[in-house]
Amino acid sequence: DTEVTQTPKHLVMGMTNKKSLKCEQHMGHRAMYWYKQKAKKPPELMFVYSYEKLSINESVPSRFSPECPNSSLLNLHLHALQPEDSALYLCASSQGSQGRAGNTIYFGEGSWLTVV
């Protein structure tokens, strides 16, 4: 079982709504990630936090806003999304900074987002 916990598992939101996805890990990892995945496609990196600081933003639209309140928690705030943003959003974590190439990235079960 994954030790990265994501809530909610499913979310349906309108294009004018504001919602948040939440992620928690209890492995003492210091790097946390948000990925977006479309059906049967590889995950696409969105954001990376290293030691609670944003280290990578893969040119993600500002309607997605990440937040790392502490080393165990990661949020993704959603506002004014488009239907094409509907996807599986995966949170992940790894030991040390994201720059440690040998570190394994561990994923949560994801949050299924539908924008209507």
- Nearest residue (CB) to another protein, 68 versus 105: 105
Q: Which is nearer to another protein, 60 or 80 (CB)?
A: 60
Minimum gap (Å) between residue 97 Cβ and another protein? 10
| DSSP assignment letter at 53 | E
Whichever of 18 and 41 has its CB closer to another protein, that residue is: 41
CA distance 86 to 84: 5
**Measured in whole angstroms, how far is the alpha carbon of residue 90 from the centre of its chain?**
5
- Per-residue DSSP letter, 40: T
The count of other CB atoms within 10 Å of the CB of residue 98 is 20
Positions touching another protein (CB under 8 A) are 2, 4, 6, 40-43, 45, 56, 88, 90, 92, 98-102, 104-110
Compute the least distance from the CB of residue 80 to another protein, in Å.
26
